[in-house]
Chains A and B, each alone.
Chain A
């Protein structure tokens, strides 16, 4: 145990339980995991094995019932609510299977949201959002709303939004789950490009082919890590 040097992300005995009626579901049942900066990790496992729950804990969207989560050596649970929000905003990007774009906002405005929350001035926001739109090849679609975009375009907008503040970690929960093979491949290319340029990428997927592309492949079952190959 040498602190931050041993891993940017450290999970120790993480447990998350849900109560369904009179029966307790152990979505995470003692997960130990260390992930270093810049890694490309895939998480696979049968449906209900706790992959999304793990990713939610990593993304600070959910609190574990037990265990410790150290991010860059600091215990996340000890952070205040605004400090946790700050971590979600600037250090972790989250990409969802169902995109979760705000329907009434344009692609530009959706990508701009984290910059607005961060309090960045409009001129600088415009510069960064335009650059991001260019990078995902959607400069022409800047002022379209999500329902005027294809699934692949929506997911690319969502990725641009998740990474606009250049977080160190990008979490993607089945990012291609709602896409056909070809557009899925395009989205994967965007993600892997970010990873090559230094972002830590953690992808939850059902897709064996996608999972196999990662340098490190973690397998889950019944809320536990049952395999970890490099």
Chain B
């Protein structure tokens, strides 16, 4: 028998048992669809976190005051010593280290912003001119050279205070100090739960004066390259330990390490949900096997007749095999469509989530459907091919 005829004949026999065929296709489709949607969800979550971290900056190394020991607690605190604060001098010293492309001291606080009769509380970031490039923030208007008295307004703040767009050059009061607006941030949106559209940025010295402090909240470092991250981290710890009288009282985290951890966890999560979805596919496979066995039983007489008029066992086997192939193909294709539709729905419902199904998951879903369908058909097909024509014809 020619392949074309095998395919046509098997398709015709599928069409003749429409309800049953539809049910199998649906079962397979739901399995494949589940794989696609669930991996889209997992992959979307992973990408969301990765993107969030990436938006923080590139090759970022962050210095925090105080020592976070994995063994628990702060060593200094345990010994009755308070950890030394980070200072502007520390930041300057770090700026001299090899492998450091940029560095920015950072202070954070809240203060009242007032201008033209308007008043509101804002989050204040104190930094230097490098803060913006390190944090991947850009200005839509003006500039920020961290000259004394300069202030950059977040997009929303600028709009609130100067709806006519005339923010740059205007005078504002922040706390008890006067500033002149030197720039407006372009839209940044949410980043790690921190809305930069509603902050203001001032030179770090001004921030320290405003909050009456000598200390820093963080020092942000951008390393020259990915490879430079670890050396910079080690050099920073060595430098600050030296500067702090031989005491290692800072914590240095790298974006890379945090990101890698999240990446691993979420990658494993994606695999886990994909695995669960694959089980539903296996169940669909068992269903196909059952239905194929029923089909063989119901069509015993037809199989006997085919053999009586000269169909070799191989042809009979191929016919049933082709039927399973058709069903799994249809199930796989429909499931793929369901999965794409579901992922699209997810993205519509949660625009922040980049829920794109990974190509490997779609391919694996369809491949699993084909393999389970075909494997499930092997037994029934072999049984059909083995049928004795005389017995089969008499319906035994």
Contact = CB atoms under 8 A, between A and B. Distances in A.
B87 interface: no
Interface string A85-128: 11111100010100010101100000001101111000000000
A88 B16 contact: no
Contact of B309 (A56, A104, A113, A119): A113
Contact of A61 (B1, B12, B390): B390
Contacts of A114: 309-310
A51 interface: no
Contacts of B307: 61, 85, 88
A82 interface: yes
A161 interface: yes
Interface string B301-314: 11001111111111
B9 A88 contact: no
Interface string B165-191: 000000000000000000000000000
Contact of A85 (B5, B301, B310, B390): B310
Nearest to A167: B310
Given A104-B13, A104-B16, A117 B311 contact: yes
Q: Which of B308, B309, B390 has the most CB of A within 10 A?
A: B309
Interface residues of B, number: 24
Contacts of A22: none
Contact of A117 (B1, B13, B390): B1
Contacts of A104: 12-13, 16
B90 interface: no
A contacts with B: majority SS: helix
B310 A56 contact: no
A116 B380 CA distance: 23
Given A100-B393, A117-B1, A85 B302 contact: no
B2 interface: yes
A218 interface: no
B314 A116 contact: no
Q: Which of A62, A86, A100 has the most CB of B within 10 A?
A: A100
B contacts with A: majority SS: helix
A116 B5 contact: yes
B310 A86 contact: yes
Interface in B259-301: 301
A100 B13 contact: no
A204 to B, nearest CB: 14
A152 interface: no
B5 A89 contact: no
B389 A61 contact: yes
B5 A100 contact: no
Nearest to A83: B312
Contacts of B310: 85-90, 114, 117-118
Contact of B393 (A88, A96, A161): A96
A60 to B, nearest CB: 9
A45 interface: no
Contacts of A161: 309
A85 B313 contact: yes
Given A82-B314, A116-B1, A119-B2, A59 B13 contact: no
Interface in A139-176: 161-162
Contacts of B247: none
A113 B2 contact: no
B127 to A, nearest CB: 78
Contact of B390 (A62, A89, A118): A62
B245 to A, nearest CB: 92
B316 to A, nearest CB: 10
Interface in B64-105: none
Interface string A52-83: 00001001011000000000000000000110
B315 interface: yes
18 contacts: A62-B390, A82-B312, A85-B311, A85-B313, A85-B315, A89-B309, A89-B310, A100-B305, A102-B302, A113-B309, A114-B309, A116-B5, A117-B1, A117-B309, A117-B310, A117-B311, A118-B1, A162-B309
Interface of A: 56, 59, 61-62, 81-82, 85-90, 94, 96, 100, 102, 104-105, 113-114, 116-119, 161-162
Given A82-B312, A89-B309, 13 more contacts: A61-B307, A85-B312, A88-B308, A89-B310, A94-B309, A100-B301, A100-B305, A116-B2, A117-B1, A117-B309, A117-B310, A118-B310, A119-B1
